[in-house]
Amino acid sequence: MVKNNIDKSDMREVIVSSANQLAKGLDLAKNIKVGGSFKNVIICGIGGSALPANIINSLVLPSVPVYIHRDYNLPKTANEDSLIICISYSGNTEETVSALQESIDKNITSIAIATGGKIEKMCEEHNIALIKIPSGIQPRSATGYLFSALSVILANCGVINDISDNISKTAEELLEINSALEKEGKALAKKLAKKIPIVYASNNLESVAKIWKIKFNENSKIPAFYNYFPELNHNEMVGFTQTKKANIFHVLIIKDKDDHPRIIKRMELMSSLLKKKRVRVDFIETKDGSLMFRLFSSLLLGDWTSYYLAINNKIDPTPVAMVEEFKSLMVK
């Protein structure tokens, strides 16, 4: 049920129930397996459909190289020894459709994840394994389905160890903490009023920072940026040198207990330097628990923060009108 006249598609309920996607994704993919001795895996996807691949890379060490391809066709690394996994929530993402078509043309082993669309039809016509996930939400809100399904595919193909038990446990823990995260996100959103968020994290949690940035873009409908330590200390930080209006930014630093001690020192020093430039800085410490729980609870906090920032600005968080307009212009 829609809770207010701003959130017309009831994204709040989508976020409340998002942890349930993890178990559902496991079930949908459990019987999907393809044979072969793969030398690399190429995950093709754009936008929200590519987010699960970033998370996988943050959590596990695969037995073969896993590449993320965000473009048309296939990268040069694709060959007869590759496993191609095409992820498109809608099933109609033109870049991903082109990647699947090339894998068909070159007879490269492929698997797809989608709600339907062109990709479903292609899979039916060419006998390609398809994990069909539930539709009706935005791709960026379907990370749980996509992540769990992707993890099962990779485990079934021998690319990563089975992490299903950890996923199930994480889902239960997220449901327990969700209400507290909503309150925390609501409070953080108030601090971000009329600011441009910049999200920083360690290299280990770069994917988390990136997803926070995307949620600010798509849910809150505002510019946002991200980077990671130590890279940003060698370039991006210099950009604040002559910024007379640096106070339009609000930096969020995601801090994890496993961050290298020198990275933590970098975070603290960076915070001090930014505050001298009148830039507001807040540290966001990950919750106690497994790496998977720390990662997903941080993502859930990002959902709530970006959601309430939209609500505070009287913006419906669900639609992405500019994306849809752009797509319509592309077909002309």
Positions marked active-site: 218, 234, 327
264-278: burial string, b at 16+ Cβ within 10 Å, e else: bebbeebbeebeeee
Sequence-ordered list of residues with C-beta below 8 angstroms from that of 305, at least 6 positions apart, any chain = 185, 188, 189, 192, 212, 215
Instruction: Assess contact for 31 and 78: CB atoms under 8 A.
Output: no
Look at the chain and count its residues. 332
Task: Tell me the C-alpha distance between 251 and 7, whole Å.
Answer: 26
Nearest to 42 by CA among 92, 90, 76: 76
10 Å CB burial of residue 186 (0-12, 13-18, 19+) is middle
Task: Tell me the C-alpha distance between 179 and 19, whole Å.
Answer: 12
Task: Tell me the C-alpha distance between 238 and 52, whole Å.
Answer: 32
Task: Tell me the C-alpha distance between 32 and 152, whole Å.
Answer: 8
- Beta bridge partner(s), residue 251: 198, 281
CB neighbours of residue 110 within 10 Å: 25
